Amino acid sequence: MGLLFLSDCLQWLTIAVVLIKSVWYYCLTKYSFWKEKGVKFMKPTFPFGNMRDLILLRKPRAEVIKELYDEFPEEPYVGIYEYLRPMFLVRDTELIKQLMVKDFSYCQLYT
């Protein structure tokens, strides 16, 4: 009886370890999106991405986005994360104009 119980516990422990490692690997690949593209980005924190203060209601959306905007003052664009979703924050006015006029059909706007 004791050996059977130990076998069941070992099976559940193995399943739990495999599940946790799978979730960890999935999150790791999601959070490496901007690195693979060569775009500068702020290091995200699991599970909030870069929106921890917004999600925990510590700061309003405009203040969080402003802080992210000011993080890389010399870059025309930066990558950010909302939860596991990568987002593109454009800082350069000429690039914004090009995206909004010429390349608008390729954009998914976030509001």
21-77 tens-digit pLDDT:
999 899 888 999 999 999 999 889 888 889 999 889 999 999 998 998 998 899 999
CA geometry: angle at 41 spanning 35 and 45, to 5°?
95
9 or 6: which carries more pLDDT confidence? 9
Q: Would residue 5 count as lying in a domain?
A: no
Q: Would residue 54 count as lying in a domain?
A: yes
Q: Would residue 14 count as lying in a domain?
A: no
And the tokens for 86? 């990568």
Strand partners, 86: 81
Residue with tokens 């999106």: 33
Q: Would residue 67 count as lying in a domain?
A: yes
And the tokens for 41? 């980005």
Q: Would residue 82 count as lying in a domain?
A: yes
Q: Would residue 93 count as lying in a domain?
A: yes
Q: Would residue 8 count as lying in a domain?
A: no
- Strand boundaries in 27-103, DSSP class E: 77-82, 85-90
